[in-house]
A and B are shown apart, each in its own frame.
Chain A
Amino acid sequence: MAMDSGWADLPQDILTLIADGLTIDSHACVRAVCTNWRSLLRPAAPSLLVVVSDADAEQQQRNSRRRLCALCLNPKSSTVLKRRMAAMLSLGSSDGWLAIDDPILRLVNPLTDEEIPCIIHPPNSEAARGCGCPRW
């Protein structure tokens, strides 16, 4: 039978279900197969960040630091972040972005390593006192 079966037109729910079970590397490969698969799948981004529980993490925690691990797409597959990221103190996370205040406040995507600096007023400035912004 000829291979004109329409794999490229796989319904989104089925493709998503399959891709969700893959590692982040395989997920990226699936998105690079054809335009339709690419349009059906969102880029892989960590949806949840958790503290990893290994000896290294315990050591980190004693230092009041958290070593973060991104749970991507599927609880079965996780991606350990770059060492540089691992030592950072996170203030919070949303949509795969981490708020980091070390040494300056910025948003960091732990997977792509992109950074968006956040401009805040110096703590002693008139503006900061005026609006009562807490110093993070």
Chain B
Amino acid sequence: MATGSGAAAAAADAEEKESGSRMITLTSNEGKAFVVTEASARQSATIRSMVDDGGCVDKGFPLPNVDSKTLARVIQYCDEHGNKEAHTVDERAALAKFDKDFIAELDADKAFLYDVTMAANYLHIQGLFALTTQCIADTIKGKTPEEIRTAFGIEYDLTAQDEEEIKEEDTHA
């Protein structure tokens, strides 16, 4: 991954000559450009279909729903999964280790986990979306509603009527 214009373009050219693969520019909602390999960008089904449709590859892809911090993290995932092989047991183990560390960091910062989940959903990055939603589910499992609120920083806003219904449902469970 490279950022900026001049250095990025040079890096893109070098990369293109070396590997024969195209470089693709993704732009965050703050206007920051991220140059990635096509293999990396193709982790996103949204971008993949735009590339395959012969869309604006040269002009790059503006992503109005994704901020720079989130895009950088998403690209980190796409680089790992798009550019690395996963044929041997060792390679797959390395990717699994990457995923584990990647999600552990997000798990510790739930606000960022939310942003990355939304970006993975918007960009249709299946593996990343599965990873983040699994993390959310794991956070919920075995917790009381109060503990779930604390974990995600959600404000308590249930009405007395809701509480009445919940109590009612509890007696059935």
**Which of B111, B137, B140 is the one whose CB lies under 8 Å from A5?**
B111
Q: Check B141–A26 contact: CB distance below 8 A.
A: yes
Please indicate the chain A residues that have their CB under 8 angstroms from the CB of B110 in the complex.
3, 5, 7
Instruction: State in angstroms the CA–CA spacing of A133 and B13 once bound together.
Output: 81
Task: Tell me whether B145 is interfacial, beta carbon within 8 Å.
Answer: yes
- Establish whether residues A17 and B133, one from each chain, have CB atoms under 8 Å apart when the complex forms: yes
Please give, as numbers and ranges, the residues of chain A lying within 8 Å of B152 by CB-CB distance.
Answer: 3, 5, 7-8
> Does chain A have a CB within 8 A of B89?
no
A26 vs B109: C-alpha distance when bound (angstroms): 22
Query: Is B153 an interface residue, CB under 8 A from the partner?
Result: yes
**Known contacts A34-B154, A111-B172; is-contact A22 B115 (Cβ 8 Å):** no
B159 at the interface (CB under 8 A from A): yes
B54 at the interface (CB under 8 A from A): no
Give bound CA distance, A1 to B159, whole Å.
Answer: 29
Q: Counting CB contacts under 8 A, is A128 at the interface?
A: no
Q: Once bound together, how far apart are the Cα atoms of A29 and B148, in whole Å?
A: 8
Chain A residues whose C-beta falls within 8 Å of the C-beta of B159 in the assembled complex: 35
Complex contacts, A119 vs chain B, CB 8 Å: none
Q: Tell me if B140 and A22 are in contact (CB < 8 A).
A: yes
Where chain B touches its partner, the secondary structure class is helix
Size of the B side of the interface (Cβ < 8 Å), in residues, is 34
Instruction: Please state if B173 and A24 are interface contacts (CB–CB under 8 Å).
Output: yes
Looking at the complex, which one of A1, A4, A14, A37 makes contact with B109 (CB distance below 8 Å)? A1
User: Which residue of A3, A8, A21 contacts B137 across the interface (Cβ within 8 Å)?
Assistant: A21
Chain B, residue nearest A20 (CB): B137
Task: Offer 17 A-B interface pairs, CB within 8 angstroms, sorted by A.
Answer: A1-B109, A1-B112, A2-B111, A7-B114, A14-B117, A14-B133, A18-B137, A21-B137, A22-B140, A29-B140, A29-B148, A30-B148, A32-B166, A33-B149, A35-B158, A35-B159, A43-B169
- Extra A-B contacts (15), CB below 8 Å, given A6-B114, A14-B117: A1-B109, A5-B111, A5-B115, A7-B153, A11-B121, A18-B133, A21-B137, A26-B141, A26-B142, A29-B148, A30-B140, A30-B148, A34-B156, A34-B157, A35-B157
Chain B residues at the A interface, C-beta cutoff of 8 Å: 109-112, 114-115, 117-118, 121, 133, 136-137, 140-145, 148-149, 152-159, 162, 166, 169-170, 172-173
